Structure 1
Amino acid sequence: MHYFTEDFVTFFKELAKNNHKEWFHENKKRYETSIKKPFEVFVDSMIKEIQKLDPTLQVEPKDCVLRINRDIRFSKDKSPYNLHYTAFISSGGRKDKSIPGIFLRFSPEMVGIMGGCFSPSKEQLYKIRTKISKSPNTFRNLLEEKSFVQKFGEIRGETMKRIPKEWQDACKKESLIANKQFYFVGEEAPGLISSNVLVKEMMAYWQTMRPVNEYLSKAIQ
């Protein structure tokens, strides 16, 4: 099924050259037709496909789709609009990025597919480190699974500049314990957005990230 026309990419390319309210308001109907409404339909389809495999996911598109408006309060760049469209599909939705799920970012440059634990709290971070330290090989085996490496490469995230004494021995066994974040990123060409295999391909990514997401989810519970 096709969710988007090629105008999805074209719209954001033009927005990049005209990132101001006047242009956006002139193209508001186009935004609704080419971006907002089809994206909500797409996210709804993703949620339903995931629910077939994980019935515990109980969210709606409105819980997952992020606004196109940028938060410019503390930014030097006062451009009002993002040049991509995003959704965070997890049990916490867009309001809680500490809960592992699938984060999708569509732009003229790429389709970004992210998973893992992006912004864990101090307590959640402690629980993740503790779980990894008890059996570092378990976590490492998940990360070295062939399809995970092919699609995502490796775990990313900021790391501790100084490792506390309590974690020093554990870090020698598994360096990722020093991470402050545990997320991973995959990428596809933007042509996938207007293809008829979009959901199929995104679900393949979801299936690949699922074991790592579930490991992290159990850790932070």
Structure 2
Amino acid sequence: MSETVFKGFGDKALPFLKALDFHQNREWFLENKDLFEAHLYEPLGDLVDDLIVRFEKAGLPFKGDRKKSQFRIKRDTRFAKDKSPYNRHLSALLSPDGSKWSESGCFYVCVGLEEYRGCYAAVAFWQGKPELLLAMRKAIVAKPEKYRAMVKALASNGLELRDIDRLKRTPRGFEEVTDADLIEALRNRHFMVRHTIEPARITSPELADDLFDFALRAKPLIDWGRAIQGTLPA
């Protein structure tokens, strides 16, 4: 059992995001900031604290901070077509070095409106440096048995790699590969598994148990990716 007790998000968490989506202005947000902090921001901080303790005890490489690990509710709209000032979700990211931009495999949790991102958690190697992605692709071809064992282990745990943003063509240098599953893997830009959170579940303290269990089930992906990363020059 975790030393930090997560009590669940507030029952007004999703209604707040729905109202924020409708109003989308600073005045309304400031008038309702207490609701945001009590039902979303502080509970997400509690969840981060709770999971950090559990992950450390289980030897999972996900660290963070209840404040620094959270992404801002306010959007950066400088290069966005949608100029709405606020996100329709609140999220946090835990990583081996505790930063929000780690390339060593990360744990991400999001509470949001269904018509946008929804509520979910993910474990991923996301937007890694080109040299890491190339090393992963080379490892898939050089040691396909290890890649397939990882995929099989995930499947045994009820998870599968997602195909978000996959290339339409096999990357240059790997044209000789003919196995369908390896071709699919080589076209990945990211390696991710996802856990959908039922909206009604976010107010339950047991959400922390669900997410910890998901992270444990995703460990084959983390172990595979970090082993490859360990072969790269420092």
Q: Does the 8 A contact of 1:72 with 1:79 survive in 2?
A: yes
Identify the residue that residue 47 of structure 2 maps to in structure 1: 42
What is the correspondence of 1:194-213 to structure 2 with a 5 Å cutoff? 194-213=203-222
Q: Specify whether residues 114 and 171 from structure 1 end up closer, same or farther in structure 2 by C-alpha distance, changes over 3 A only.
A: farther
Greater RCO (Cα-Cα under 8 Å, separation 6 or more): 1
**Offset at residue 162 of structure 1 (A):** 4.4
Of residues 158, 166, 181, the one that matches 1:159 is 166
Of residues 186, 204, 208, the one that matches 2:195 is 186
1:218 aligns to what SS in structure 2? Answer: helix
Residue type matched to 2:126 in 1?
F
TM norm structure 2: 0.84
For 2:125 and 2:76, locate their aligned partners in 1 and report how far apart those are by CA, in whole Å: 22
**Offset at residue 29 of structure 1 (A):** 1.6
Identify the residue that residue 134 of structure 1 maps to in structure 2: 142
From the two aligned structures, give the one with the greater helix fraction.
1
The range that moved more, 156-165 or 119-128, is: 156-165
Residue by residue over 1:138-165, the C-alpha shift from the partner in whole angstroms, topping out at 9 and shown as x without a partner, is 21222233344x3x43332333444355
How well do the aligned residues superpose, as a CA RMSD in angstroms?
2.1
1:39 aligns to what SS in structure 2? Answer: helix
Could you list the runs of 4 or more consecutive aligned residues of structure 1 that deviate by over 4 angstroms after TM superposition? 55-58
**Offset at residue 65 of structure 1 (A):** 1.2
Of residues 123, 126, 133, the one that matches 1:125 is 133
Q: Specify whether residues 179 and 27 from structure 1 end up closer, same or farther in structure 2 by C-alpha distance, changes over 3 A only.
A: same
Residue by residue over 1:53-103, the C-alpha shift from the partner in whole angstroms, topping out at 9 and shown as x without a partner, is 127554322332111111111111111111111111111445324221211
For 1:165 and 1:32, locate their aligned partners in 2 and report how far apart those are by CA, in whole Å: 48
Q: Specify whether residues 201 and 75 from structure 1 end up closer, same or farther in structure 2 by C-alpha distance, changes over 3 A only.
A: same
Structure 1, unaligned runs of 5 or more: none
Identify the residue that residue 216 of structure 1 maps to in structure 2: 225
What is the correspondence of 1:51-70 to structure 2 with a 5 Å cutoff? 51-54=56-59, 57-70=62-75
Residue type matched to 1:189 in 2?
E
Identify the residue that residue 186 of structure 2 maps to in structure 1: 177
Q: Does the 8 A contact of 2:170 with 2:186 survive in 1?
A: no
Q: Specify whether residues 4 and 58 from structure 1 end up closer, same or farther in structure 2 by C-alpha distance, changes over 3 A only.
A: closer
Identify the residue that residue 112 of structure 1 maps to in structure 2: 120
Identify the residue that residue 29 of structure 1 maps to in structure 2: 34
Matched length: 219
**Offset at residue 45 of structure 1 (A):** 0.5
Residue type matched to 2:209 in 1?
K
Q: Does the 8 A contact of 1:125 with 1:220 survive in 2?
A: no
